[in-house]
Amino acid sequence: MAIEPRAFLTTMETRIGLTAEDKKVMQANADWGTAVAEEMADHFYAFLGRDEEMNGILNATEGRVHRLHATFIDWFNQMFTGMDNWGDDYAKCRWHIGLIHVKIGIGPQHVVPAMAVVVDKVGRKLKADGKSDELKDALAKVCMIDLAFIEQAYVEVSSSAVLRETGWSAALFRRLIATGAASM
Positions that interact with ligand HEM (CB under 6 A): 48, 54, 57-58, 61, 64, 67-68, 71-72, 75, 96-97, 100-101, 104, 106, 110-111, 114-115, 118, 146
Q: Which of 140, 148, 10 is nearest to 86 (CA)?
A: 10
* CA–CA distances in Å: residue 100 to residues 95, 96, 103: 9, 6, 5
Tell me how far, at minimum, the Cβ of 97 lies from ligand HEM, in Å: 5
Of 29, 53, 157, the residue nearest 100 (C-alpha): 157
* CA 93 and chain centroid, separation: 10
Task: Check: CB of residue 175 under 8 Å from CB of residue 47.
Answer: no
> What's the half-sphere exposure (Cβ side, CA atoms, 13 Å) at 22?
18
**Given the complex with ligand HEM, which of 67 and 174 has the nearer CB atom?**
67
**Residue number, 64 or 174, with CB nearest to ligand HEM:** 64
* Rounded least distance, CB 79 to ligand HEM, Å: 9
Nearer to ligand HEM, 87 or 107 (CB): 107
| Least distance in angstroms from the C-beta of 25 to ligand HEM | 20
Question: d(Cα 126, Cα 32) in Å, to the nearest integer?
Answer: 9
Among residues 48 and 148, whose Cβ is nearest to ligand HEM?
A: 48
Least separation, in Å, of the C-beta of 21 and ligand HEM? 24
Shorter beta-carbon distance to ligand HEM: residue 30 or 65: 65
